[in-house]
Structure 1
Amino acid sequence: MHGRDGPLAYADDVPLEGAKLHGDETIETPVGDVELQDSYFNDDASKRLYDEMDYQRASQAYIWSTPLVSVTTWRENQGKAYGVENETDFVVLESLKEKRGIVTANLTTPYIFNFSNLKDGAIQIDYPAGQTAGGVLDFWQRPVFDLGLTGPDKGKGASYIVVGPEDDPSKYEKEGVHVFQSVTNNVFIGLRILDTDPAYYDKFTSEYKMGRVGSETKPSRFIRGKDVEWSATAPRGLDYWQKLSEIIQEEPVREVDKGWMAMLEPLGVAKGKPFEPDDRLKEILLKGAAMGELMLRNLQVNPRYVEPFWEGTSWYKSFDFQIEQETADIAQIDQRGTWFYEAVASTKGMVDPQPGQGQVYMTTKRDSEGNMLRADKSYKLHVPAKVPVGQFWSLTLYSENTRRPYDNGGTEIRDVSLDSRMKDLKYNEDGSIDLFIGPEAPAGFEMNHMETVGDDGWFVYFRLYAPEQPFFDKTFKMADFELVK
């Protein structure tokens, strides 16, 4: 290369942070040296800078889009596995095999799920009275409204209308009907029956009605007893971006997401355009998804925006951000990414429980010595007597890789979930209980044990149903898992 007066003489290499971006200099960067001549760089440097720019954007876009891709994966894979045909069909998940499809599924009560689309018009739900909990959520997994005990009906039953983002809610207002608007066309309805009487399931499913506004509401079809294996864990690699592109086509762009859409467009993920990445973009998207997931798993395991719930422990309150996923100042990208990488869905009862109502989800990934929990070692969790719950508590085991219920070869729910309603658990004389997780059960504590296998790392959710005041004022406290040596 020659300058105006012969061979170009570059200045000494300078680190990126010390670059002047003026004249002739060689700048040391993470993507190699960038050589400036009269303040300009060559085409090779330009390509490397664009590659790095797109890689960084892809990594961050993975974190931003996790709630959306996760729920889209759930909708599609559940529908295929259970033969969903109609927009009012519900899937009922009861067995361990069925629930093992859901990311951090609750294993103590049946799940009932429906996915609907508001593009073709508003939907009315005639909701029965009874002991249930659930809600209607948009596809950012934010509650549009709760149903049942934590909803406006307070367990007494009511009629609801949910309208799409481009519809006018005022058109549907009438006496005795609760009207809500979703920011996405796609919504999902998640329900849990809390009534312990088996006969209530039949009563609920016969009384629940649903349909487009303007048409008669009718009973739904509840698909039950399939007992099939399936997975709602978001895909990796290019399939992740394909799924993101597909769901973006189905939804209007929210104002808060326009900046992200601008960053996605050069990556081949854009509104109104097919996802057809060339070889260069495929390589960048593969690396971006892999790094994005690594970053998100780091947030999930070592959250830096919140302190442990109980001082001196590694226990965190799992859902520790606003259900709107934003404050007056920020969109809570990291906070919601942590939760929706590890779990699915959100309701008011999960996020903002009150004494005697809702649920609390506590989680940990470390033992009492601060070390990561391992599949090849055994641990003891001491649960104090008189856990402050109006209903019950449970301890459920999950795989860190899939974030779904742990697959240790067991076929029964109690193989990966223990709870205070089980009559065969072994308690200590003072009413406390020791629970064990590891490759082998300690002698005499087989019923208090959940097995880990191979190198499948794990974590738990300790759930408190209808938590009472000692939880909120922290006079009740859980200790960390102790390594059994």
Structure 2
Amino acid sequence: MTDLGDAQLWGDETIETGFGSVELENTFPTDASSALLFDQLDAQRAAQGYVWAMPLAGFVAWRERAAETFGSTGFGDFVVYETLREKRGILTANLTTPYIINFTTLTDGPLLIDYPAGATAGGVLDAWQRPVTDLGQTGPDEGRGGGYVVLGPDDDASPFQDSGRLVVRSETVNVMVAFRILTDDPQEAAAAREGLKMSRAGSDPAPVRYIEDIDQEWSATPRRGLDFWSDLALILQEEPVREADKGLMAMLEPLGIVKGEKFVPDERQRGILADGAALGELLVRNLQVNPRYAVPYWDGTSWYKSFDFAVEQENATILQLDQRATWFYEAVTSTKGMVNPTPGAGQVYMTAKRDSQGRLLRADRGYRLHVPAGMPVAQFWSLTLYSENTRRAYDNGGTEIRSVSLDSRDEQLQFNDDGSIDLYIGPCAPAAGESNWMKTLAPDGWFVYFRLYGPTEPFFDKSWSMPDFQAL
């Protein structure tokens, strides 16, 4: 017998691999070894297909589960996610401002949007969760409102050249229209909601329908096992195949995911797909915890920028598979304002999975985060706690948003005399009291997003920095 690394790959040889013994007779794989090699080939492809599919998987999981939970199945249906239970279904949702979300197909023609003026941030995203255009303060309208035309992959742009609207094109037929209202002024918020209108090309803009006050637990976490592939097969049938994705589509074909064909995997494929989804998730979770393509934002800390790649998900030489898989495993959506904020505008999401000693954060241990004074934000900041298992807001039994999200507008927070603040996470409340504390429950691991809204120059030049969590 020969170890794989020492194999000659000729003549009569038995080769030991991590997945079994492969026999060659007269240099050819035997029939039994051929089956073993095909299983291994397809298992590897399934795991890599999982990594590749992360943005699509998050999109379709959210669309399908929201339709089931909130009944958002009509054109112009926007779900308003405001309560803790409504938001807890969304991967790493921001719990400080409402989300207003619509899923629309462009198969019925271009989409017209009349977008309102005001303090909002949002965008139109394609099915790969890439921004087609930002909306609001970080969009072309810069918060002044305006008209948009969203074309599908093959739609003709010429009818809209003199429409006075900004014309953009999606590479996918499925799109998400999303925005958040950043003001706490009720009149401004109401005006923004009332000002949003949508229609198909050739029809007059019409007010949208807001679905709200559902207050129900639900989950947009991509499903595991064979359900993951069922969701993926569903949206792949709806979408055109991009040139960049033909290689991965070829890898999925032997597993029963074929464009134009119904997904009915046989017993062998089902087993390989289930294993591939589990291995794929482990591969991505490792990238999420140990993003080897990036370095911490502040030297000597474990704080990373959560979204640290191009919104196009590619550069001049590569499709950024690992980078986007990391983000879309634990989060959803992307906008230019999230990735390329400018001083005083946009958002920055910082994340940590380790403490000041470099140890992974634990749910059975208490921690203190000392946030120095002079937080560089033009708007506000928030610290939100998430489950590593679901990547959704942590379920610690609390019923109020502040049980898993603390922010600078929270009047219950206790600041230090010098303007700094100590925030606590762990299974037991600190001696200082519960006002600055969020509870964890073992064995569900956790991580955080520290969001800076309207980051200012000291963040960008790093003259202000934040230390790591300290174990208590």
Looking at structure 1, the residues matched to 111 and 304 of structure 2 have their Cα atoms a distance apart, in angstroms, of 37
Deviation at 1:225, TM superposition (A): 1.1
- Write out per-residue CA displacement over residues 140-198 of structure 1, whole angstroms, 9 at most, x where no aligned residue: 00000000000000011100000111212233222521000001000001100012211
What is the correspondence of 1:281-296 to structure 2 with a 5 Å cutoff?
281-296=269-284
Conserved? CA contact 1:355–1:466, under 8 Å:
yes
Deviation at 1:455, TM superposition (A): 1.3
Amino acid at match of 1:328: A
TM-score between both structures, scaled by the size of structure 2: 0.99
- Give the match for residue 372 of structure 1: 360
- Give the match for residue 54 of structure 2: 66
Deviation at 1:86, TM superposition (A): 1.4
* Pairing 1:279–2:270 present: no
* Pairing 1:447–2:435 present: yes
Deviation at 1:23, TM superposition (A): 2.0
Looking at structure 1, the residues matched to 161 and 422 of structure 2 have their Cα atoms a distance apart, in angstroms, of 53
Looking at structure 2, the residues matched to 259 and 18 of structure 1 have their Cα atoms a distance apart, in angstroms, of 30
Looking at structure 1, the residues matched to 20 and 72 of structure 2 have their Cα atoms a distance apart, in angstroms, of 52
2:104 to 116, 119, 135: 116
* Pairing 1:179–2:167 present: yes
Deviation at 1:224, TM superposition (A): 1.4
What is the correspondence of 1:234-273 to structure 2 with a 5 Å cutoff?
234-273=222-261
Give 3-state SS (helix, strand or coil) of 1:369's partner: coil
CA RMSD in angstroms comes to 1.0
Looking at structure 2, the residues matched to 91 and 358 of structure 1 have their Cα atoms a distance apart, in angstroms, of 23
- Alignment size in residue pairs: 472
* Pairing 1:317–2:323 present: no
1:411 to 394, 399, 422: 399
- Give the match for residue 142 of structure 1: 130
Deviation at 1:445, TM superposition (A): 2.9
Amino acid at match of 2:292: R
Give 3-state SS (helix, strand or coil) of 2:223's partner: coil
- Write out per-residue CA displacement over residues 49-94 of structure 1, whole angstroms, 9 at most, x where no aligned residue: 0000000000110010011011101001111111224111100011
- Give the match for residue 22 of structure 2: 34
Deviation at 1:422, TM superposition (A): 1.2
Bigger Cα Rg: 1
- Give the match for residue 449 of structure 2: 461
1:208 to 182, 189, 196: 196
Deviation at 1:17, TM superposition (A): 2.6
Q: Call closer, same or farther: CA 1:454–1:22 in 2, change over 3 Å.
A: closer
Give 3-state SS (helix, strand or coil) of 1:215's partner: coil
Amino acid at match of 1:453: L
Moved over 6 A (4+): none
- Give the match for residue 192 of structure 1: 180
Looking at structure 2, the residues matched to 259 and 173 of structure 1 have their Cα atoms a distance apart, in angstroms, of 36
Give 3-state SS (helix, strand or coil) of 1:390's partner: strand
- Give the match for residue 5 of structure 1: none
- Give the match for residue 70 of structure 2: 82
Give 3-state SS (helix, strand or coil) of 2:176's partner: strand
TM-score between both structures, scaled by the size of structure 1: 0.96
Conserved? CA contact 1:426–1:445, under 8 Å:
no
Q: Which runs of 5+ in 2 are unaligned?
A: none
Give 3-state SS (helix, strand or coil) of 1:392's partner: strand
Amino acid at match of 2:440: T
Amino acid at match of 1:46: S
Conserved? CA contact 1:131–1:155, under 8 Å:
yes
Give 3-state SS (helix, strand or coil) of 2:66's partner: helix
